């Protein structure tokens, strides 16, 4: 993630939305633009697999809204922070199904999925998971493609790692959802 100095002034969420329309891709962390780069095919395949698996569970049950990359969540104001989870689930209680959000979501997702990119360290990803939890996410899955495993983060619980021979469940956030981790990586 590259940090960009656009005139040495702090940017707002509105600035970030305008820049995204101009092809600039990134997140805003306390007013500073942190550009992101395309993550590659494997990352994209995992996002699609997870969106399909989660969507096939969430949509027919009308449990909430599922979003993927580039859909930003506005977490802080003055200075603004807008983060971009790989996948986010907002329950119908958190974000009503009939609510139209044309800009960034202004509530934390109930479930956040972050997929490790080449160059991401486990520490960076654990810090990101803790950040999501500190802003109100209830469950964070950090997917590690190289290990074919998922770290499960919850507030006040130790991190649990689930490998591709095991199943992952939605716990209290998506009760009844279960899936073998290997399905995340299927081509």
Distances (CA, A) of 22 to 15, 16, 18, 162, 178: 11, 10, 7, 39, 39
Q: DSSP strand E in 36-166: where?
A: 64-68, 73-76, 81-83, 87-91, 111-115, 139-144, 149-153, 160-163
HSE at residue 84, side-chain half, CA atoms within 13 A, is 21
- The tens place of each residue's pLDDT in the chain, 187 residues long, gives 444 455 568 999 999 999 988 988 899 999 999 988 888 899 999 999 999 999 999 999 999 999 997 789 999 999 999 999 999 999 999 998 888 888 899 999 999 999 998 888 999 999 999 999 999 999 999 999 999 999 999 999 999 999 999 999 999 999 999 999 999 998 7
pLDDT at 150: 98
Using an 8 Å Cβ cutoff, are 40 and 75 in contact? no
**Quick check: helix, strand or coil at residue 61?**
helix
* Cis previous bond, 49, omega within 30: no
Tokens 């160059």 belong to residue? 119
CA-nearest of 75, 137, 141, 140 to 110 is 137
pLDDT at 2: 47
Query: What is the rounded CA–CA span in Å between residue 13 and residue 157?
Result: 32
pLDDT at 151: 97
- pTM passes above 0.85: yes
Compute the radius of gyration of the chain from its Cα atoms.
16
């Amino acid at each position: 993630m590259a940090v960009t100095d656009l005139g040495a002034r702090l940017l707002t969420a509105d600035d970030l939305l305008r820049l995204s329309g101009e092809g600039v891709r990134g997140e805003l962390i306390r007013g500073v633009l942190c550009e992101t780069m395309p993550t590659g095919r494997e990352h994209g395949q995992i996002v699609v697999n997870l969106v399909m698996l989660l969507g096939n569970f969430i949509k027919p049950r009308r449990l909430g809204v599922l979003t993927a990359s580039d859909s930003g969540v506005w977490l802080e104001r003055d200075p603004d922070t807008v983060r971009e989870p790989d996948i986010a689930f907002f329950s119908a209680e958190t974000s009503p199904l009939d609510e139209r959000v044309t800009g960034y979501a202004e509530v934390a997702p109930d479930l956040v999925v972050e997929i490790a990119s080449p160059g991401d360290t486990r520490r960076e990803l654990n810090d990101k998971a803790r950040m999501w939890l500190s802003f109100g996410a209830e469950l964070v899955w950090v997917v590690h493609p190289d290990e074919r495993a998922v770290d499960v983060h919850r507030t006040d619980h130790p991190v649990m790692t689930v490998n591709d021979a095991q199943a992952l469940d939605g716990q209290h956030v998506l009760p009844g959802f279960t899936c073998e981790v290997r399905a995340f990586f299927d081509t």
